[in-house]
Chain A
Amino acid sequence: MMSTQDAYYIPHKATWPIAATLGLLTSLAGFANYLNGNAAGSTFMLIGLGIFILMLAGWFTMQATESETGMYNRGVGISYRMGMMWFIFSEIMFFAVFFGTLWYTRNLSVDWLAGIGEGPGRSSGLLWPSFEAVWPTNGPGNVGGEYEPMGAFGLPLLNTLLLLTSGVTCTWAHHGLLANNRSQLIKGLAATVGLGFLFVGFQALEYMEAYHDMGLTLGSGIYGSTFFMLTGFHGFHVCVGAIILSVVLFRSWKGHFTPENHFAFEAAAWYWHFVDVVWLGLFIFVYMM
């Protein structure tokens, strides 16, 4: 009874990884050329991205097929779950860099620029005599010119509500899956994906407002840098999460997943909750404080 299915599935060759590597290498080399002002750069970037997207589609189709044909036993499922967990941990560390940057500038370096907390014999207070340590700031050089800081209550608050609701619908879908209630699974996932893309839409609106009406850009000193870097990387992760959930939605509609076997759903849900928590951090530390 535990004969073949009990064995840990070890694939005997892999062709997608080399495609992934070539795709990523081409697109990054293209992007670097584009940044250096080389006209051909963007073409290579798009070709590389195309290869990468095809690779993703091919590799994940293969994984889904293998999973649905019962090639993965419980042990394989545990490895995949550990893989996803530690991948999310690496993402947390990536965001920690930018949160740390925000903390360091707000609490240490901006003060030092204004001469606060310096010991005797230091000079920044003399270098920038008129600079005062307030947040938000675009620095003593008034880099990027006048701007208006982004408020918390308006689109960002609405987006917070949207994302929190999507966390609830995602969990509701999970309960549906565990109870073998396919319509609840599909409805819950569809609502999550919809809310996710709505979030991205509103954030695009917020960015347009910042650039066109408020003078707030990536170049608006340290405030603009940290604001757009944090919210931008988060927005990118929301897009990725929503695409992953869309694939899971499609697979649910095709009849994939059982209450016992649904790693892809779990991984997508974990990722989504991670993106959700990062947003809460952003809302508190970037928008409110």
Chain B
Amino acid sequence: MSAVTAEHDHDEHHDHGPEKGFLRWIVTTNHKDIGTLYLFFALAMFFVGGTMALIIRAELFEPGMQFVTPQFFNSMTTMHALVMVFGAVMPAFVGFANWLIPMMIGAPDMALPRMNNMSFWMLVAGVMMLASTLFMEGGAPASGWTLYPPLVLQTGAALPFAIFSVHLLGISSIMGAINIIATIFNMRAPKMTLMKMPLFVWTWLITAFLLIAIMPVFAGAVTMLLTDRFFDTSFFDAAGGGDPVLYQHIFWFFGHPEVYVMILPTFGIASTIIPVFARKALFGYSSMVYATAAIAFLSFIVWAHHMFTVGMPLSGELYFMYATMLIAIPTGVKIFNWTATMWRGSMTFETPMLFSIAFVVLFTLGGFTGLMMALAPIDFQYHDTYFIVAHFHYTLVPASVFILMAGGYFWLPKWTGNMYDERLGQLHFWLSAVSVNILFFPQHFLGLAGMPRRIPDYAVQFSDWNMVSSIGAFIFGFSQLMFVYIVVKTIKGGTGEKVTDEVWEGAAQHSLEWTLPSPVPYHTFATPPENIPTEHY
């Protein structure tokens, strides 16, 4: 391209600034604005979903019924999961993708900026529709986030709203994923070959494929729920020749890749942060890429390990058991690569690195409990107990959420030009890391002892550990308010210390965004960068 002869990385005289006033946030097509919208929306939903979790933990603080009705309790478990998955964790990663992918590959913006705006507003519409079910006759869906029939078909007025909110969220995710794929394939700087892309870009590319493949599947499944309830079909009704178990198969064909949608970008951010603070290149770059692809492929052929107790043929149980255990191999590759990256590194322990190290340790723990439940005969004992609750919360909270926090601390100085308060950041980390274990570790014991999940009351022998868990939940929940305070303070000027362009020592050798000024201008890489960092491979 002849345009590379231009001297400046960013082109001032063609710079269109942001729209004036509030309208800016509604009509914007700028990837940084849309990234900010996604991140703030996700943070708000994190507290909405978190409040629901605290209602659950308050009710479970002691045996007996204290605060809510059983029906409302079940609505809370359902809505907590849906809000956290579709409103908080996924949008947060899309926010990071929007902010970072164009800057990391040297592109001026996302490939399809108008659609980028639309996918954000469709997300808001979907979550609003979901939240509206809380105020409806018969209450919000109370079937668990899996929405299994026939139970979910007993939902009151909320059912069609919940189903249509899934459709809207699906539209939003598919549009976002298409945009990410088109951006990565079509907008890279000339020298940015695929195997030179930062791992965050790689993991999102693979995640985007997963999203396009699974969101339509979930949409199809809930459409069949809709017709079974309102249009006389018999998809999940044995009397008409259908089968409720069919729904479970379709749901988990969506659901298993869906949980990897939340963990693969986590791996990407961890693989970006750990090398910077270990002051080394990432160990095993290409094996990281292949491991991510392998995990994504395996996610499509293991779904029925969520259904071991449903009454499958023995051959099915065996196949899904062995296939599931295979996932430990590429995941192990990743864990060892992160460890090897830190090995003999000149490590420093700023807040992003603390969260990342906690992620490596605690995600491994969550991975091991997953391996335990992959064994079909053992799963018969653990199925639908608090053991599974402990397992997936370890892979989501001290993994995905911790890494989202790490990413926030890591890039916030770049985005705002201000440094966050390191002392407060570390206090936030230690409060979170300790309380998250007080919260979830005892749930392993409860599950092994036989406490079922999704119940508002329990037998008295479970009292002690439930009390410990609830105390951890409240410490963890309120600690997160610190994050809001730190973020707001940083945006408003932080510690007063102006950060350098590189922010973190040596970061510019790892990824392109650190070569830009801090704070990053509204438009970046109007012309593609000539050189790209080479540290990470």
Which residues from chain A sit less than 8 Å from chain B, CB to CB?
1-2, 6-8, 10-18, 20-21, 24-25, 28-29, 31-32, 35-36, 59, 75, 78-80, 82-83, 86-87, 89-91, 93-94, 96-98, 100-101, 104-105, 108-110, 112-113, 117, 119, 122, 124, 137-141, 143-144, 217-219, 221-226, 228-229
Answer whether residue B125 sits at the interface, using C-beta atoms and an 8 A cutoff.
yes
A-side contacts of B186, CB under 8 Å: 75, 78-79, 82
Task: Enumerate 30 A-B pairs (CB-CB under 8 Å) in ascending A order.
Answer: A12-B16, A14-B28, A14-B113, A14-B114, A17-B114, A17-B117, A20-B121, A20-B122, A24-B122, A31-B164, A35-B226, A78-B182, A79-B111, A79-B187, A83-B112, A86-B177, A90-B213, A93-B212, A93-B213, A93-B216, A94-B219, A97-B221, A101-B235, A138-B234, A138-B241, A139-B234, A140-B239, A143-B239, A222-B240, A225-B235
Q: A223–B242 Cα gap in the complex (Å)?
A: 9
Answer whether residue B460 sits at the interface, using C-beta atoms and an 8 A cutoff.
no
CB contacts under 8 Å to A, within B115-135, are: 115, 117-118, 121-122, 124-125, 128-129
Answer whether residue B2 sits at the interface, using C-beta atoms and an 8 A cutoff.
yes
Q: Which listed residue, A11, A101, A119, touches B29 by the CB 8 Å rule?
A: A11
Answer whether residue B243 sits at the interface, using C-beta atoms and an 8 A cutoff.
yes
What number of B residues sit within 8 Å (CB to CB) of A? 75
A-side contacts of B226, CB under 8 Å: 35
Answer whether residue B286 sits at the interface, using C-beta atoms and an 8 A cutoff.
no
- B208-224 vs A, CB cutoff 8 Å, 1 = contact: the mask equals 00001111110111001
Q: A187–B107 Cα gap in the complex (Å)?
A: 42
Q: Which listed residue, A2, A17, A100, touches B118 by the CB 8 Å rule?
A: A17
Given the interface pairs A13-B29, A144-B240, the reply to whether A119 lies near B313 with Cβ below 8 Å is yes
B-side contacts of A36, CB under 8 Å: 157, 160
In the bound complex, do residue A110 and residue B187 qualify as a contact, i.e. CB atoms below 8 Å apart? Answer: no
Q: A217–B240 Cα gap in the complex (Å)?
A: 13
Answer whether residue B47 sits at the interface, using C-beta atoms and an 8 A cutoff.
no
In the bound complex, do residue A32 and residue B164 qualify as a contact, i.e. CB atoms below 8 Å apart? Answer: yes
In the bound complex, do residue B242 and residue A222 qualify as a contact, i.e. CB atoms below 8 Å apart? Answer: yes
Given the interface pairs A13-B28, A97-B217, A104-B249, the reply to whether A113 lies near B212 with Cβ below 8 Å is no
A-side contacts of B213, CB under 8 Å: 89-90, 93
Q: Which listed residue, B178, B187, B241, touches A113 by the CB 8 Å rule?
A: B241
In the bound complex, do residue B129 and residue A28 qualify as a contact, i.e. CB atoms below 8 Å apart? Answer: yes
Q: Which listed residue, B174, B179, B241, touches A221 by the CB 8 Å rule?
A: B241
A-side contacts of B187, CB under 8 Å: 8, 75, 79
B-side contacts of A82, CB under 8 Å: 111, 178, 181-182, 185-186
Q: A42–B294 Cα gap in the complex (Å)?
A: 47
Q: Name which residue of chain B comes closest to A20, CB basis.
A: B118
Given the interface pairs A139-B239, A221-B240, the reply to whether A229 lies near B121 with Cβ below 8 Å is no
Answer whether residue B108 sits at the interface, using C-beta atoms and an 8 A cutoff.
yes
In the bound complex, do residue A10 and residue B234 qualify as a contact, i.e. CB atoms below 8 Å apart? Answer: no
Q: Which listed residue, B2, B112, B526, touches A79 by the CB 8 Å rule?
A: B112
Task: Give, as a whole number of angstroms, the nearest-CB distance from B98 to chain A.
Answer: 14
In the bound complex, do residue A90 and residue B212 qualify as a contact, i.e. CB atoms below 8 Å apart? Answer: yes
Task: Give, as a whole number of angstroms, the nearest-CB distance from B19 to chain A.
Answer: 6
Q: A106–B237 Cα gap in the complex (Å)?
A: 14
Task: Give, as a whole number of angstroms, the nearest-CB distance from A15 to chain B.
Answer: 5
Q: A105-B242, A140-B239 are in contact. List 11 more A-B contacts (CB 8 A).
A: A7-B526, A21-B124, A29-B164, A90-B174, A90-B178, A94-B217, A97-B220, A122-B311, A139-B239, A222-B242, A225-B235
Answer whether residue B167 sits at the interface, using C-beta atoms and an 8 A cutoff.
yes
Task: Give, as a whole number of angstroms, the nearest-CB distance from B30 to chain A.
Answer: 8
Answer whether residue B436 sits at the interface, using C-beta atoms and an 8 A cutoff.
no
Given the interface pairs A36-B157, A79-B186, A139-B242, the reply to whether A94 lies near B212 with Cβ below 8 Å is no
Task: Give, as a whole number of angstroms, the nearest-CB distance from B356 to chain A.
Answer: 32
B-side contacts of A14, CB under 8 Å: 27-29, 113-114, 117-118
Answer whether residue B459 sits at the interface, using C-beta atoms and an 8 A cutoff.
no
B-side contacts of A97, CB under 8 Å: 216-217, 220-221, 224, 250
Q: Name which residue of chain B comes closest to A14, CB basis.
A: B114
B-side contacts of A17, CB under 8 Å: 114-115, 117-118, 121
B-side contacts of A221, CB under 8 Å: 234, 240-242
Report, nearest first, the 7 A-B pairs whose CB atoms are least far apart.
Answer: A97-B220, A141-B239, A139-B241, A219-B232, A17-B118, A222-B241, A109-B243
Task: Give, as a whole number of angstroms, the nearest-CB distance from A275 to chain B.
Answer: 16
Q: Which listed residue, B128, B164, B178, B233, touches A86 by the CB 8 Å rule?
A: B178
Given the interface pairs A21-B118, A35-B230, the reply to whether A2 lies near B242 with Cβ below 8 Å is no
Task: Give, as a whole number of angstroms, the nearest-CB distance from B222 to chain A.
Answer: 10
- B162-205 vs A, CB cutoff 8 Å, 1 = contact: the mask equals 01100110010010011101110111000000000000000000
A-side contacts of B526, CB under 8 Å: 7
Q: Which listed residue, A25, A75, A96, A139, touches B240 by the CB 8 Å rule?
A: A139
- B483-501 vs A, CB cutoff 8 Å, 1 = contact: the mask equals 0000000000000000000
In the bound complex, do residue B242 and residue A25 qualify as a contact, i.e. CB atoms below 8 Å apart? Answer: no
In the bound complex, do residue B3 and residue A2 qualify as a contact, i.e. CB atoms below 8 Å apart? Answer: yes
Task: Give, as a whole number of angstroms, the nearest-CB distance from B5 to chain A.
Answer: 11
Q: Which listed residue, B16, B168, B182, B238, touches A24 by the CB 8 Å rule?
A: B168
Q: A21–B171 Cα gap in the complex (Å)?
A: 11
Given the interface pairs A17-B118, A21-B122, A139-B242, the reply to whether A6 lies near B113 with Cβ below 8 Å is no
In the bound complex, do residue B234 and residue A143 qualify as a contact, i.e. CB atoms below 8 Å apart? Answer: yes
Q: A215–B314 Cα gap in the complex (Å)?
A: 40
- B308-337 vs A, CB cutoff 8 Å, 1 = contact: the mask equals 000101100000000000000000000000
Q: A59–B118 Cα gap in the complex (Å)?
A: 12
Answer whether residue B481 sits at the interface, using C-beta atoms and an 8 A cutoff.
no
Q: Name which residue of chain B comes closest to A221, CB basis.
A: B240
In the bound complex, do residue A137 and residue B233 qualify as a contact, i.e. CB atoms below 8 Å apart? Answer: no
A-side contacts of B115, CB under 8 Å: 17, 83
Q: A18–B125 Cα gap in the complex (Å)?
A: 10
B-side contacts of A141, CB under 8 Å: 239-240
